[in-house]
Chains A and B, each alone.
Chain A
């Protein structure tokens, strides 16, 4: 151990991840959540296919505070994965690899996801 202060590899436990890295791992995490959300969606569709009474109990759950919270989080996670996924498609064609572009895209993605979610719920509540 000649030089203790040498740069070391970024161990995840002590390394403060930059926003770009946090958003990268969040893309995976949101994908896992969305898979669970898709399963939930199918269960609610099968409740609808089951007829009036089974939909009534599904609707009761979805109208409750907890149900509304799940719906809101689901749309937020979906819009995040959507916006960040579009940024990944830009990366796939070779655009936006500079630090400045990545920093800007972080903000655009987060803003677009939040804005889209608000827009969806304002339109839904107004309709």
Chain B
């Protein structure tokens, strides 16, 4: 005999009430990050030591602007999902766990926004 209600079986969301969406989003962003990471690691190796005119002209090209914004947004989301799992796995103090989850989420949002605004400022303002 199962203690699960027929409704919970139909919904299929499990005890965490979100089904497989966390797992699925982590994999979806992982796949998106395969080409982005290859492009990104080559770009930073090439450009980190270049002068202002070179780097800003490179960021300002539509191709780089789009890829950089995608890398920042998808990267921070993927990173947040991963850090969330690590915090949930290793932090047993409930108050600390909730606090860290909120803090990491807000910081990811803050830095992702800072990154996107910086890229847009370089692209449109330079």
Contact = CB atoms under 8 A, between A and B. Distances in A.
Contacts of A48: 52, 55-56, 59, 118, 122
Contact of B46 (A44, A79, A92, A127): A127
A28 B52 contact: no
A31 B82 contact: yes
A74 B44 contact: yes
Interface of A is mostly: helix
B94 interface: no
A124 interface: yes
Given A31-B79, A59-B49, A86-B34, A38 B42 contact: no
Question: Which of the four size classes fits the interface of chain B?
Answer: 35 or more
Nearest to B76: A38
Interface in B67-104: 68, 72, 75-76, 79, 82-83, 86
A52 B125 CA distance: 13
A125 B112 CA distance: 29
Given A31-B79, A71-B48, A82 B34 contact: yes
Contacts of A4: none
Nearest to A88: B30
Contacts, number: 111
B86 A32 contact: yes
B27 A42 contact: no
B66 interface: no
Contacts of B45: 71, 75, 120-121, 123-124
A19 interface: no
Interface in B102-126: 107, 111-112, 114-115, 117-119, 121-122, 125
Interface of B: 27, 30-31, 33-34, 37-38, 40-42, 44-46, 48-52, 55-56, 59, 68, 72, 75-76, 79, 82-83, 86, 107, 111-112, 114-115, 117-119, 121-122, 125
